[in-house]
Amino acid sequence: MPDRLGTREQKGLHAWAAGCVCRFVVRLALGVSILACGAGFPPAGAQSLEPILKGIERRYNNARTLQVRFEQTHTAQRRRRTERGELFLRKPGRMRWVYSSPAGKLFISDGKIFYLYTPDNHRVERTRIKESDDWRAPLGFLLGRLDFYRDFKRFISRPEGPDTWIVAEPKSDRLAYTQVGFLVNNSFVIMRLEVTGQDRSVMEYRFEAERMNPPLEESLFRFQPPPGAEVVDVESGNG
């Protein structure tokens, strides 16, 4: 859940997502190729976690829509910025981030294009999903792309009270992030997500009040620029 990756100091809350996002970085699909670890064997650290990983996959891969409140914190070069709001997801590839702080900020994916509106400069940034390196893209895993054994090669876990904290290391070193950490409860709900970038910046999402399969109309994911807003097409890697 920010601005575009590129001028990170000024637009630090963009990078995964990824999503992620709309691909779980652009896919944070939280998985790793079985072939990378030997045919038929889970990646390192995944054996004892397999019931948890499979439970998470079942929960989110079977969802059609999802609604959840979020708090998003980006930390880079000793600077920290927190934003809050509500996230709406619908398969395939639809997402709507409505920000209450800063008020009026909006991020929408219609499945093909990302739209970011920032009220401070009354500007819309438009990016094709396949070109985007936005940090929200990794959250595409919530849209049903979750496969731990496909994209990740190593898992480390520890208990946090009744919950489990899991760190996943991706198979590829060409992604915008180097690891993903997530906190899951015993109902397989992801409550926190932490993405570490190649530049050592960290994007953290905290989720609460998750609703699975609420009725969400397609019109919710259509973007209409506010009157008079500047609309700019942005390519990956540019601010």
pLDDT tens digits for 164-179?
999 999 888 887 788 9
In the prediction, which pLDDT does 192 show?
Answer: 95
Cα distance between residue 21 and residue 2, in whole Å = 13
For the entire predicted model, the pTM comes to 0.76
CA distances from 234 to 121, 168, 188, 239 (A): 16, 30, 36, 7
Helices assigned H by DSSP within the chain: 24-27, 50-61, 148-151
> Domains in the chain, start-ordered, CATH in brackets?
24-214 (2.50.20.10)
Question: If you average pLDDT over residues 2-6, what whole number do you get?
Answer: 42
pLDDT digits (tens, 9 = 90+) for 22-73: 333 233 323 322 222 323 335 545 558 899 999 999 998 888 999 999 999 9
Confidence category of residue 235, pLDDT binned at 50, 70, 90: confident
In the prediction, which pLDDT does 147 show?
Answer: 83
Overall residue count recorded for the chain in this entry: 239
Burial zone of 92 (CB within 10 Å; 0-12 exposed, 13-18 middle, 19+ buried): exposed
Q: What is the mean pLDDT of the chain?
A: 78
Cα distance between residue 41 and residue 77, in whole Å = 39
pLDDT digits (tens, 9 = 90+) for 131-163: 444 445 556 556 667 788 887 889 999 999 999
User: 51: which 2 tokens?
Assistant: 């019931």
Strands (E), 91-187: 94-101, 103-110, 113-118, 123-128, 152-160, 163-170, 177-184
Higher pLDDT, 33 or 103: 103
pLDDT at position 204 over 60: yes
In the prediction, which pLDDT does 136 show?
Answer: 53
